[in-house]
Amino acid sequence: MKLNKTKSTLLFILTLILIVASGYVSAIGIGKTGTGAAKNIILGLDLKGGVSVTYKVTNEDFTKEELEDTKYKLERRVAQFSTESEVYTEGEDKITVDIPGVYDSQKVIDELGKPGSLMFVTTAEEGYEGTDEYPLYTAKDGTNYKVWVNGNEIANAKAQAMTDQTTNASSYVVALSMTDVGAKKFAEATRVNLDKTISILYDDVVVSAPTVNSVISDGEAVIEGQASMEEAEKLASTIRIGSLSLDLEKISSKVVSAKLGNDAIETSLLAGLIGLLIIMVFMIIVYRVPGVVASIALTLYTIMELLVLNGFDLTLTLPGIAGIILSIGMAVDANVIIYARIKEELATGKSTESAIKIGFKKATSAIVDGNVTTFIASLVLMWKGTGPVQGFAITLCVGIILSMITSMVVSRVLMYCLYSMGVKDKKFYGVQKQRKTIDFLKNKVIWFVISILLVGVGFVFMGINASSDKGAFNYSIEFVGGTATTVEFSEDYSVDDFNDNIKPKLADAIGSNDIQGQKETGSNKFVIKTKTLTDEERTALHKVLKEDFKAVLPEGETDFEESTISSSVSEKMKEDAIISVVLATICMLIYIWFRFKNLRFAGSAVLALVHDVLVVVGFYAISRTTVGTTFIACMLTIVGYSINATIVIFDRIREKLAEQNSKKVDVKEVVNSSITQTLTRSIYTSFTTFVMVAVLYVLGVTSVKEFALPIMVGIVAGGYSSVFVTGSLWYVMSKGKYGKKKKEVK
């Protein structure tokens, strides 16, 4: 990149102006409404609160399986508001929906729709008695219908705008997706009723009667003829909510507070700011001028991340913060890889300009492979995951794209600008000192034994915990459900008051810190969620509430209103999370195999990844840290961090094998020198990412600490495995393939 001094100075100043301007928008916003300001980012239930709507099942007879199916389908419905919405059952016949970032409960109810029964029908011929596959249904007005498809056989319904390619005229339609069973039945319905109408019956009212224009055999149909987008949205909403297995009636709606309180937001923001400042100071001390460039790029990255979260109305929760932390770590990592390469090139005697050019070029493959691998995984998690998995994946996707832009484009431009402005002396960039190759493989058996012991100890504690009836893990309310106690206090406590003063005493009373308190906005009422209580624990809890905090009993009642609540993480959501992680891992393996053209790279990378995950899982078992929704985000963070660290070393091994251009190479020397040359990068990246999470742990509230601590363990485990385990695994798998040039000393 050739730039004269004047152009470089102008470009550098313009970049700084862009950062200041975008920073102003992110901090203050534009106009009276503050458009673009970070304060307008939608926060999840844990950070901000939202709307809580409770429905009651109106069917006389229903099974537990039908209730679970209805709950899962509601989870899919409310995802239109936020991927971080929660759905759980209360008692035996109620389902509660909590939607973050929305405070108009009536709007939610209107857009979600009125739950009821839905069917695709035609008027039954006289004498038709129905079959198991196509039953007869008699409406309230006495009309007999042949039911072709039930609402629960509709997978989804979406409103869409379409443009005629000839006339450019706009039309509005509802796109339907059927389940496998629904697709088969709908194909028969459209075949029999070609050029006739099939009515959509909802709560005994015909809401639409489209004409069948063709036989539809793939389960994908379009209902045309909607007058406006609003009309299409209304019909789509009716079909979606009508596909529930059970009929529901709204019995209450309220605005609820954040679960973690304002302190969680303030401390997380402060921690993020302090962490970034520490990283910037560290980068400047270690890398000098490139460190200044990295600091500018990181500033721009952070601002862009906030603007994108705001612009695309993405919901930010603790799992989302995990995605941001990981992507910040990857952004720092990219800069570390580049600048380490530049220092290496300067050490070989190259000019500063050549070193910058070659440094960026040689770092590209490691950065691209590391980011693309994690990006592929995040896309799979977005596609297959639900709830916190999807929220994590979205913020990670955004972060990876932005970190690639800032590290590969912005940093490069700024580096060339500073060079052209006269910052050319090697002392401004640092020269890599000669490093003696460390024989990491000499003790490979010891590294393997340590890893086996670390993983094994975790399994031992799981067994001990399970045999002592405590459970292998300390599962949270989100995973196993519990008891919801509705309490009205005589004083107006805030959520922060609850977390700081009330929660600790309740925790002592029931012997568990897994307690959530959500305040009903505009009142002194709290819904306190705890584990399932024994009679003794319930008595102790109520005593604290009455005597210590003067809780008011409902009129005419002798105790507080209680209900049993299910987990907000459904079995289907857990299943989706497991499947999405497995698929993501397989996709990462395939990509590494493709890029490195060697299955041994992919195999050892995945083994190291599994090692890191199992170490953190073992930590959860040993420390009895609560396993909740943040557990999923923590595991996903470790997966992304681990694979990225591994690829950097593998990239160096691949480079050395290509340089030697022979199958007869000293594999041991290649691995040892590759790990040695990337050791600084491994230490620096682990340190900077660790700092971000450590500050969050030190300053955070209790729930944030429980989220940050396992990630810190994972970062240490990932740093250990990338340096000591991964290369050793690849060496053991590969030494027979490449042979050796000289006799190895063992």
Cβ neighbours, 10 Å, residue 181: 14
The residue behind tokens 């300390």 is: 474
Separation of alpha carbons 582 and 733, rounded Å: 23
- Write down the pLDDT at residue 744: 46
Mean pLDDT within 411-440: 87
Task: Return the minimum-mean-pLDDT range out of 221-225, 257-261, 680-684.
Answer: 257-261
- Write down the pLDDT at residue 454: 93
pLDDT at residue 340 greater than cutoff 80: yes
- Write down the pLDDT at residue 384: 72
Same domain, 647 and 558: no
Q: What percentage of the chain has pLDDT greater than the value 90?
A: 18
Task: Return the minimum-mean-pLDDT range out of 65-74, 180-189, 279-288, 597-606.
Answer: 65-74
- Of 236, 256, 276, the one marking the end of a domain is 256
CA 333 to each of CA 386, 435, 689: distance values in angstroms, whole numbers, following the listed order:
29, 21, 9
**Helix/strand/coil (H/E/C) assignment for every residue in 515-559:** CEEEEECCCCEEEEEECCCCHHHHHHHHHHHHHHCCEECCCCCCC
Q: Is position 674 within any domain?
A: yes
pLDDT at residue 742 greater than cutoff 70: no
pLDDT at residue 261 greater than cutoff 60: no
Structure-token pair, residue 735:
């030494």
Mean pLDDT within 621-633: 82
pLDDT at residue 80 greater than cutoff 80: no
Same domain, 552 and 683: no
Q: Is position 338 within any domain?
A: yes
CA 715 to each of CA 342, 698, 712, 722, 727: distance values in angstroms, whole numbers, following the listed order:
26, 16, 5, 10, 18
CA-CA-CA-CA dihedral for 619, 624, 628, 634, to nearest 10: -20
Mean pLDDT within 393-415: 86
Q: Is position 248 within any domain?
A: yes
- Beta bridge partner(s), residue 576: none
pTM, to two decimals? 0.72
**Confidence band (pLDDT; 50, 70, 90) for 746?**
very low
pLDDT digits (tens, 9 = 90+) for 498-556: 888 898 899 899 988 888 888 887 788 888 889 888 889 988 999 999 888 888 887 77
Mean pLDDT within 171-177: 90
CA atoms within 13 Å, Cβ hemisphere of 348: 11
Domains of the chain: total: 4
- Write down the pLDDT at residue 45: 66
- Of 565, 598, 631, the one marking the end of a domain is 565
Q: Is position 539 within any domain?
A: yes
Q: Is position 22 within any domain?
A: no
Question: Mapping DSSP to helix (H, G, I), strand (E, B) and coil, where does residue 123 land?
Answer: strand
Same domain, 239 and 314: no
The residue behind tokens 């105790």 is: 559
pLDDT at residue 621 greater than cutoff 80: yes
Separation of alpha carbons 83 and 96, rounded Å: 16
pLDDT at residue 745 greater than cutoff 60: no
pLDDT at residue 239 greater than cutoff 70: yes
Mean pLDDT within 438-442: 92
Where residue 21 falls (left for φ over 0; alpha for ψ -120 to 50; beta otherwise) is alpha
Same domain, 595 and 727: yes
- Write down the pLDDT at residue 101: 66
Same domain, 79 and 166: yes
* Mean pLDDT, the chain, integer: 83
Same domain, 341 and 415: yes
pLDDT at residue 103 greater than cutoff 70: no
- Beta bridge partner(s), residue 35: 30
Is the Cβ–Cβ distance between 330 and 399 less than 8 Å? yes
Same domain, 202 and 81: yes
The residue behind tokens 């995973």 is: 479
- Of 256, 291, 313, the one marking the end of a domain is 256
Maximum distance among all alpha carbons in the chain?
96
Separation of alpha carbons 744 and 746, rounded Å: 6
- Write down the pLDDT at residue 3: 67
Mean pLDDT within 107-125: 75
Mean pLDDT within 368-390: 78
Q: Is position 126 within any domain?
A: yes
In 151-300, the DSSP E strands lie at 154-163, 170-178, 199-202, 205-208, 220-226, 248-257
Q: What percentage of the chain has pLDDT greater than the value 70?
A: 89
pLDDT digits (tens, 9 = 90+) for 39-55: 777 776 666 777 888 88
Same domain, 270 and 340: yes
Q: Is position 140 within any domain?
A: yes
The CATH number of whichever domain residue 103 belongs to comes to 3.30.1360.200
Exposure string over 415-442, b if 16+ CB within 10 A, otherwise e = bbbbbbbebeeeeebbbbeeeeeeebbe
CA 156 to each of CA 307, 440, 585: distance values in angstroms, whole numbers, following the listed order:
31, 54, 28
Mean pLDDT within 696-708: 78
Same domain, 444 and 424: no
Structure-token pair, residue 125:
């011929």
> In degrees, to the nearest 5, what angle opens at C-alpha 453 toward C-alphas 448 and 457?
155
The CATH number of whichever domain residue 701 belongs to comes to 1.20.1640.10
**Confidence band (pLDDT; 50, 70, 90) for 642?**
confident
Same domain, 561 and 575: no
Separation of alpha carbons 411 and 297, rounded Å: 6
Q: Write out the residue range of the structural domain in which residue 636 sits.
A: 440-460+570-738
Q: Is position 24 within any domain?
A: no
In 416-574, the DSSP E strands lie at 482-489, 516-519, 525-530, 551-552, 561-565
pLDDT at residue 187 greater than cutoff 90: yes
| C-alpha Rg value of the chain to the nearest Å | 30
In sequence order, the 6+-apart residues with CB closer than 8 A to the CB of 443 are none
Task: Return the minimum-mean-pLDDT range out of 201-210, 548-557, 567-576.
Answer: 567-576
Task: Return the minimum-mean-pLDDT range out of 405-414, 501-510, 725-734, 737-746.
Answer: 737-746
Task: Return the minimum-mean-pLDDT range out of 74-88, 160-174, 177-191.
Answer: 74-88
Same domain, 549 and 680: no
pLDDT at residue 381 greater than cutoff 90: no
Is the Cβ–Cβ distance between 625 and 704 less than 8 Å? no
Mean pLDDT within 436-442: 91
pLDDT at residue 327 greater than cutoff 50: yes
Same domain, 83 and 141: yes
